[in-house]
Amino acid sequence: MTERARTEEQVFRTVRQWWRAWIERDRRAIDRLAHPAYDETDETGHFRSLCRDDVLAAVEERGRRAAIERWHISQPSVHRVGRLVMCNYAFDIEVRHGDHLVGLKGRASDILIEQGSELLYLSHSGSLSPSSDRAPADVDAEVR
């Protein structure tokens, strides 16, 4: 296996761990994976800079409001510049909010930084594709 292939495999494994941690509201995993300077832009364009404690609080809050019932990420494209790594990929999820089940598809870009043998999350940004279901306004707001 080439060095590039090993890097891509490690990065996409970390991306899957990040998604799993958010979905399962695994505070320990998020604490381990989030860089102290983490920020995000969600699929609605909402930007926020979050310290690690804010990320952990956001995990709990989102989990109470809406639950991702199914998720799939694919088509990774990985680029490295020094210690920074960017991973672009497609996502396809179903989110339950009350009685509503909403299908959302789009693209995401994650920026990670290498610290020793670990990759830590610096940033996540996502955008919905036009083919996504239109969620009721309250669901759309709660998913962010």
Q: Which residue has the tokens 């088509």?
A: 75
pTM (predicted TM-score) = 0.77
- Render pLDDT for 12-22 as a digit per residue (tens, 0 to 9): 999 999 999 98
Assign 3-state DSSP to the chain and report helix, strand, coil percentages, each to 5.
35, 45, 20
- Average the pLDDT over 63-88 and give the result: 88
User: What are the structural domain ranges in the chain?
Assistant: 3-143
The domain 3-143: what is its CATH number? 3.10.450.50
In sequence order, the β-bridge partners of residue 84 are: 81, 113
Instruction: Determine the pLDDT at residue 86.
Output: 96
| Separation CA 128–CA 41 (nearest Å) | 12
- Average the pLDDT over 41-70 and give the result: 65
Contact criterion met (CB below 8 Å) for 124 and 107:
no
For residue 118, pLDDT over 70 is answered with yes
Instruction: Determine the pLDDT at residue 62.
Output: 62
In sequence order, the β-bridge partners of residue 53 are: none
For residue 138, pLDDT over 50 is answered with no
Q: Which two tokens stand for residue 71?
A: 């998720």
Instruction: Determine the pLDDT at residue 80.
Output: 92
φ, ψ of residue 47 to 5 degrees: the values are: -105, 140
